A and B are shown apart, each in its own frame.
Chain A
């Protein structure tokens, strides 16, 4: 392995990490916003559809989540212009399942039991295989 290949490998890993980290922060922020708001069906029945939409849009965590999801999207576009689609797309999609499970356990305090860990890891492997 020469220095150029090694450098390329690190650059690909950094780009995939940027996509995965920003997507995970976005997902966790949005999930946290929705959890704080409560059941949207109840909000809609009490305040109507406009009230439910306003409640979501006025949540600072939701806005931050959307910003991070946009960052993830643009990181993906940037990565696709430098690295192979066959590497970036499956690696980022499958790794996000695992990082989301970890983040949901520590930041959202979700009960990620053995069943959910296994499901996240198996989906991660399945998504990677489907993209091959």
Chain B
């Protein structure tokens, strides 16, 4: 049985998943381009690379992505989260077009159109499959009684 578990706040979390992953990757790529090629014999250069502002910001965004991704998988299906968050590819392409004035080929525009259509299509359906006996109550140490 499927049902919709989405609220405005959860859509915002999915938005964070969508935007932070491609932006984080892009920042890592920009940072590593500035650092230059890292030789296998000088892997310690990678540690210095972490100090680059773009790489630091990229890592912070990817941490945001992973925590939001985990949260979204706790209340939505994998087959809902992955297509719904693929809109991030479109956002990055549009940023490249209108902010950095990069050329986007007709094939890429077609790709943007397909992804946007798929996101709209899946977002109108249910987000969570109710499966009995999958959720085990969390067993953490009981909180101490207040004195």
Task: Check B122 against A119 for contact (C-beta < 8 Å).
Answer: yes
Task: Check B135 against A130 for contact (C-beta < 8 Å).
Answer: no
A9 at the interface (CB under 8 A from B): no
Task: Check A116 against B122 for contact (C-beta < 8 Å).
Answer: yes
Say what secondary structure dominates the interface of chain A.
Answer: helix
CB distance from B124 to the nearest CB of A (A): 8
Task: Check A39 against B75 for contact (C-beta < 8 Å).
Answer: yes
Please report the total number of A residues contacting B with Cβ < 8 Å: 45
Chain A residues close to B by CB (< 8 Å): 27-28, 30-31, 34-41, 43, 46-47, 51, 54-56, 97, 100-101, 104-105, 108-113, 115-116, 118-120, 122-123, 125-132
Task: Check B73 against A127 for contact (C-beta < 8 Å).
Answer: no
CB distance from A88 to the nearest CB of B (A): 15
Subset of 23 A-B contacts with CB under 8 Å? A34-B73, A36-B134, A37-B135, A37-B136, A40-B75, A97-B82, A100-B79, A101-B79, A108-B129, A110-B129, A112-B79, A115-B124, A116-B122, A120-B79, A123-B82, A123-B86, A123-B114, A125-B114, A126-B112, A126-B114, A127-B111, A130-B111, A132-B107
